[in-house]
Homo-oligomer: A and B are copies of this chain.
Amino acid sequence: MYNPQLNAQGELIHLLTTEGLPRRILHQILDKAAEFVSGGELVNQKFADLAGTSVFNLFFENSTRTRTTFEIAAKRLSADVSSLNIQASSTAKGETLLDTVHNLEAMGANLFVVRHSESGAAHLIAKHVKPGIAVVNAGDGRHAHPTQAMLDMFTIRHYKGDFTNLRIAIVGDVLHSRVARSQIHALSTLGCPDIRVIAPKTLLPTGVEQLGVHVYHDMAEGLKDVDVVAMLRLQNERMAGAYLPSTQEFFKYYGLTPEKLALAKPDAIVMHPGPMNRGVEIDSAVADGDQAVILPQVTFGIAVRMAVLSIVTANQKGLL
C-alpha cells in the first residue's frame, strides 16, 4: 500500500501520522532519539545534522509550547529556523495554504513543521511540496500528533524497557484527542498487548474498539494493574456544555488522584502531554509525585523531535 511518509526504499521522508508506520521506523526514531539523551538529560552539545538547512515552523493554530520545542530541536541540530504564526483566516481556502507553502519553498525552505486545526493539513502539504522537502506534522485537528506519541513511546521504553508485556491506560477526552489516536497506533505497532481507554461515553469516538483497544468507563476497573497511565489534557473549550456536566464532576470520576493511581501497579508511571489542568484531569499530588514522568517527557520530546528532523532530512537528501 502506498504510504506518503515513505520513499520507494521504505525510508521515512515525512512524519505525518503514526498510523501505518512500520515497526522498524518507530524503532529507528526511538533509537536515534536515544543518541541525544544521556542519563535522562539532553546531551549538552550541538549537532550538525541540520547545518545549512532552513526549517519553517508553520503554525496555523497557536501553540507556543510545541513551537518552542521544535525550535529548540532544530537549533540543537544547527538548522536555521523561522517561525510563522499564520492566522487561520488568511488561509481559509486550501489554495491559499498551498500558495503560502510554495512561496516558502521558493525562499529555500527544506523542512516544514506544520500545526493546523484542520485534519489532513500536513498530508495536503506533503502531497504538494517539491521532492527533497520534508513535512513534519505537529498536530492536525483531531487527527494526529505523531511527535507527541513518539515521545510518549520513548518515555515508556525508557522506564519500562519493552512494550510487549505492558498494560497501558489512556485516560480522558479521547474523542477530541489527536494525541490518543497517535498513541494507540504507535502502541499497537510496537506490540503492546493491552491498550485501554478510560473515558465517559460522551468523550469516546464511535467504534473506538476497532482500533484494538479495551474500553472502560470506570477508573477503578480500567486502571487495575496497569504499567502506564497516559492522561489526556482536557481542552478548555470542552470544559462546559454538551460533553461534560462540570470540571468538578469530571475530576470526581476521571481525575487522577493518589487513591485511583493506587489501583495501578506500584511502579506504574504517569504521563501527561502538558500543560496540565491541575484539579481537573490530574491532582497535584500525582502531578508532582514520584510516579509522574511528565518533565522527563518534555526532555525526551526534544530528543524525539531532533531524531525525526534528522531522519527525514537525511532521507530527503538521499532523494535528490
A residues adjacent to B (C-beta < 8 A): 42, 44-46, 51-52, 54, 64-65, 68-69, 71-72, 75-76, 80, 82, 84, 95, 99, 102-103, 105-108, 274-276, 278, 284, 295-299, 301-302
17 contacts between A and B (CB under 8 A): A44-B108, A45-B52, A46-B51, A46-B80, A64-B84, A68-B84, A69-B107, A76-B80, A102-B295, A103-B298, A105-B295, A106-B297, A106-B298, A107-B299, A107-B302, A108-B299, A108-B302
Q: How far is the CB of A68 from chain B (nearest CB, A)?
A: 6
Cα-based distance from A207 to B309 in the complex (angstroms) = 56
- Residues of chain B with a CB closer than 8 A to A105's CB: 295
A42 touches B108 (CB 8 A): yes
- Residues of chain B with a CB closer than 8 A to A72's CB: 54, 80, 82, 107-108
Copies, count: 3
Cα-based distance from A76 to B82 in the complex (angstroms) = 12
- Residues of chain B with a CB closer than 8 A to A45's CB: 52
- Residues of chain B with a CB closer than 8 A to A102's CB: 295
- Residues of chain B with a CB closer than 8 A to A54's CB: 72, 75
Cα-based distance from A127 to B44 in the complex (angstroms) = 23
- Residues of chain B with a CB closer than 8 A to A82's CB: 68, 71-72
Cα-based distance from A221 to B136 in the complex (angstroms) = 49
B296 touches A106 (CB 8 A): yes
- Residues of chain B with a CB closer than 8 A to A95's CB: 278, 284
- Residues of chain B with a CB closer than 8 A to A298's CB: 103, 106-107
Cα-based distance from A89 to B177 in the complex (angstroms) = 26
Q: How far is the CB of A224 from chain B (nearest CB, A)?
A: 30
The closest CB in chain B to the CB of A41 belongs to B108
Given contacts A68-B107, A69-B107, 10 further A-B contacts (CB under 8 A): A46-B51, A54-B72, A54-B75, A68-B82, A72-B107, A95-B284, A103-B295, A106-B295, A107-B301, A108-B302
Please give me the 6 A-B residue pairs with the lowest Cβ-Cβ distance, nearest first: A106-B298, A106-B295, A42-B108, A106-B299, A75-B80, A46-B52
Interface residue from B42, B69, B99 paired with A275 (Cβ < 8 Å): B99
Cα-based distance from A278 to B94 in the complex (angstroms) = 13
Q: How far is the CB of A15 from chain B (nearest CB, A)?
A: 20
